[in-house]
């Protein structure tokens, strides 16, 4: 059940209505049942996998809390192995097997290990990481173990963020399931507005740009450098709108019921540096890696070279988290490299800025922003390409930059892309630099109403209604 489908609209309306009319004591059950239904709409049997890890982590949490010393650590390790094991089997087994086969073939051996033919359970990486954050936080003593099995299950399965995040921490969300959320006009309206904006990002921007992006990236041999540049910029915006659009719908739909989910995106393409980009992009995942991998590896409190290695490791693992393909690993490695180069050059850049007195210079800031966007966009080529070979074909095609670009199936599509980009940039620019100029929360009622109605009709007139699923569902 996709957030951009009529089925979801009906599901959401029914669940939200029932949530407020049911007595508080039965609301957890409604949300859990609704979440199970939501998940089972994809592949019903995969709920058993979730059930397996939920049972393990539920008991692991309780026993970790009441244990100490080696036993406590052992319980945590068991829980992590179960979670990572499931992820490894479904997501990485075939990738590993493929590589073993390649090595075996080159040595003249025959690899007899069969490949798995099962589909990857939707959103597996997201709920695995959310489940792991629970047991780790209980182990660290930052979170009390949840005794209510239903509430714990809901923590992992809460439908708005079940399949593509935000990857919540138990400290932020778990206690909210124990609180009675009263019907609130403000929550309902602000949640619905955020959902509408998420739909705009998905239907008007992401799905429109994807038509052009897919034409180029699925036939890399047929396109010149100009088309590669345009499609890569389009993809950078597409993935932002696709994923942040999903997050907006998730956060908005949870808010209508009174739940506060963590912010996942803060207009990352206005960043001036790569670290700033990562502090604004997929925040729930980047802070997860910071808290549970980067800091345990030593964080910033190690020798410089060790820190560089740690950064490379974290970003490569982050790439691998996205998918079992060398394209993702290379994407992660590239971002790791950007970070390392950024750290090495930072003192020189700072010194240059101070000496030249250009810290607040508009042109300088714009140049840094464009450079950051360019680097991020270049890395997206690896993320989007269907294979490493395709990625290098596309990069190789850049030498023909300057030739007339492919404009899609008629100028109509391209005009829609330009309109979508203009609307998005205008709205996001105002949000970033002129927050006082707000449409959806304007002090004048007619502006608030007008902007919401206009947004919905922009979706209706210019949106793509059969654009398909969200990119991050596959992870």
Partner 1 sequence: MLNKDIIKFGKSLLIFIVMMVVIDFIIGFSLEKLYFSLKKGQFAQTTFSIDSTNQEVIIFGSSRALHHYSSPIMIDKLGGSLYNAGRDGQFIPYYCALQDAILKRKKPELIILDVNVWEIAPNDEKYEKLSMLLPYINNHPELTKYIREISEWENVKLFSKTYPYNSTVFVSLHDYLFADKLPQDDNGYFPLDRTMSKKDFDTYRAKKIVYDEKREKMKVPFDVKAIKYYEYFLNQVDSLQIPTYVVISPTLLKEPATKEKLLIESIAKRYKYVRFLDYSGDQKYNNHFDKFADEFHLNTKGSTEFSYEISDYINKDKTNFK
* 91-125 burial: b if 16+ Cβ within 10 Å, else e: bebbbeeeeebeeeeeeeeeeeeeeeeeebbbbbb
The answer to whether residue 412 forms part of the interface with partner 1 (CB under 8 A) is: yes
* Residue 128 CB, nearest approach to partner 1 (Å): 30
Q: Smaller CB distance to partner 1: residue 298 or 468?
A: 468
Q: Smaller CB distance to partner 1: residue 295 or 419?
A: 419
Instruction: List the one residue from 24, 115, 183, 429 that touches partner 1 (CB under 8 A).
Output: 183
Distances, alpha carbon 214 to alpha carbons 211, 232, 265, 327, in Å: 5, 10, 24, 16
The answer to whether residue 461 forms part of the interface with partner 1 (CB under 8 A) is: yes
Q: Smaller CB distance to partner 1: residue 169 or 208?
A: 208
Q: Is residue 359 within 8 Å of 130, Cβ to Cβ?
A: no
The answer to whether residue 23 forms part of the interface with partner 1 (CB under 8 A) is: no
Instruction: List the one residue from 219, 350, 367, 426 that touches partner 1 (CB under 8 A).
Output: 219
What stretch of H or E contains 394?
helix 388-397
**Cα–Cα distance for residue pair 199/424, rounded to 1 Å:** 12
The answer to whether residue 468 forms part of the interface with partner 1 (CB under 8 A) is: yes
Distances, alpha carbon 17 to alpha carbons 27, 158, 173, 256, in Å: 11, 17, 21, 10
Instruction: List the one residue from 95, 456, 469, 474 that touches partner 1 (CB under 8 A).
Output: 456
Q: Give the other-Cβ count within 10 Å of 200's Cβ.
A: 24
- Give the pair of three-digit tokens for residue 260: 């506060």
Per DSSP, the three-state class of 403 is strand
Instruction: List the one residue from 68, 221, 360, 436 that touches partner 1 (CB under 8 A).
Output: 221
* Residue 221 CB, nearest approach to partner 1 (Å): 4
The answer to whether residue 464 forms part of the interface with partner 1 (CB under 8 A) is: yes
The answer to whether residue 463 forms part of the interface with partner 1 (CB under 8 A) is: yes
Instruction: List the one residue from 87, 195, 416, 472 that touches partner 1 (CB under 8 A).
Output: 416
Handedness of CA 293, 297, 298, 302 (dihedral sign): negative
Instruction: List the one residue from 179, 415, 422, 429 that touches partner 1 (CB under 8 A).
Output: 415
**Cα–Cα distance for residue pair 228/276, rounded to 1 Å:** 26
* Residue 399 CB, nearest approach to partner 1 (Å): 12
**Cα–Cα distance for residue pair 250/194, rounded to 1 Å:** 9
Q: Give me the numbers of helices (H) and strands (E) for the chain, helices first please.
A: 20, 0
* Residue 205 CB, nearest approach to partner 1 (Å): 14
The answer to whether residue 347 forms part of the interface with partner 1 (CB under 8 A) is: no
Candidates 472, 469, 459, 454; CA nearest to 7 is 469
Q: Smaller CB distance to partner 1: residue 106 or 466?
A: 466
- Judge whether 322 counts as a catalytic residue: yes
Contact string 426-455 vs partner 1 (x = CB under 8 A): -----------------------x---x--
**Region near partner 1 per CB under 8 A, out of 82-90, 142-150, 180-188, 279-287:** 180-188
The answer to whether residue 409 forms part of the interface with partner 1 (CB under 8 A) is: yes
Q: Which of 181, 223, 282, 322 is catalytic?
A: 322
**Region near partner 1 per CB under 8 A, out of 64-72, 110-118, 124-132, 457-465:** 457-465
Distances, alpha carbon 224 to alpha carbons 220, 378, 384, 410, in Å: 9, 16, 17, 17
The answer to whether residue 457 forms part of the interface with partner 1 (CB under 8 A) is: yes
Per DSSP, the three-state class of 401 is strand
Q: Smaller CB distance to partner 1: residue 61 or 220?
A: 220
**Cα–Cα distance for residue pair 237/65, rounded to 1 Å:** 44
**Cα–Cα distance for residue pair 470/164, rounded to 1 Å:** 9
Instruction: List the one residue from 48, 112, 185, 444 that touches partner 1 (CB under 8 A).
Output: 185
Candidates 290, 287, 329; CA nearest to 311 is 290
The binding site for partner 1 (CB under 8 A) comprises 5-7, 182-185, 188-189, 219, 221-222, 409-410, 412, 415-416, 419, 449, 453, 456-457, 460-466, 468
Active-site positions? 322
């Amino acid at each position: 059940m996709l957030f951009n489908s009529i089925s979801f609209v009906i599901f959401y309306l029914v669940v939200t209505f029932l949530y407020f009319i049911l007595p508080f004591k039965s609301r957890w059950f409604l949300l859990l049942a609704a979440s199970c239904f939501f998940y089972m709409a994809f592949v019903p049997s995969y709920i058993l996998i979730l059930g397996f890890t939920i049972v393990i982590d539920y008991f692991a949490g309780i026993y970790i809390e009441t244990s100490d010393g080696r036993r406590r650590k052992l319980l945590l390790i068991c829980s992590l192995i179960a979670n990572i094991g499931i992820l490894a089997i479904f997501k990485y087994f075939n990738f590993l097997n493929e590589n073993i086969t390649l090595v075996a073939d080159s040595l003249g051996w025959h690899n007899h290990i069969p490949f798995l033919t099962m589909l990857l359970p939707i959103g597996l990486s997201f709920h695995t990481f959310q489940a792991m954050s629970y047991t780790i936080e209980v182990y660290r003593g930052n979170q009390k173990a949840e005794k209510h099995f239903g509430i714990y299950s809901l923590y992992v399965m809460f439908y708005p963020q079940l399949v593509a995040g935000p990857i919540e921490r138990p400290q932020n969300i778990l206690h909210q399931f124990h609180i009675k959320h009263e019907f609130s006009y403000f929550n309902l309206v602000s949640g619905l507005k955020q959902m509408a904006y998420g739909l705009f990002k998905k239907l008007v921007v992401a799905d429109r740009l994807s038509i052009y992006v897919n034409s180029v990236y699925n036939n890399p041999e047929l396109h010149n450098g100009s088309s590669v540049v345009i499609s890569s910029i389009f993809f950078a915006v597409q993935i932002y709108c696709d994923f942040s659009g999903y997050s907006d719908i998730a956060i908005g739909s949870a808010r209508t019921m009174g739940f506060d989910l963590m912010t996942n995106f803060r207009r990352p393409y206005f960043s001036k540096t790569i670290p700033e980009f990562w502090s604004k992009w997929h925040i729930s995942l980047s802070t997860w890696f910071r808290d549970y991998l980067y800091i345990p590896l030593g964080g910033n409190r190690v020798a410089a070279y060790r820190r560089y290695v740690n950064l490379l490791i974290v970003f490569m693992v982050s790439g691998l988290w996205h998918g079992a393909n060398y394209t993702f690993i290379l994407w992660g490695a590239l971002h790791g490299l950007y970070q390392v180069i950024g750290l090495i050059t930072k003192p020189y850049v700072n010194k240059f800025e101070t000496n030249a007195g250009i810290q607040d210079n508009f042109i300088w800031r714009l140049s840094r922003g464009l450079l950051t966007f360019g680097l991020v966009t270049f890395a997206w080529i690896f993320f989007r390409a269907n294979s490493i070979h395709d990625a290098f074909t596309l990069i190789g095609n850049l030498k023909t930059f300057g030739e007339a670009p492919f404009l899609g199936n008629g100028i109509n599509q391209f005009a829609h892309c330009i309109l979508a980009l203009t609307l998005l940039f205008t709205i996001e620019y105002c949000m970033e630099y002129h927050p006082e100029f707000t449409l959806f929360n304007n002090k004048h009622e007619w502006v608030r109403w007008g902007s919401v109605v206009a947004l919905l009709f922009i979706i209706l007139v210019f949106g793509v209604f059969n654009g398909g699923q969200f990119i991050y569902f596959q992870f």
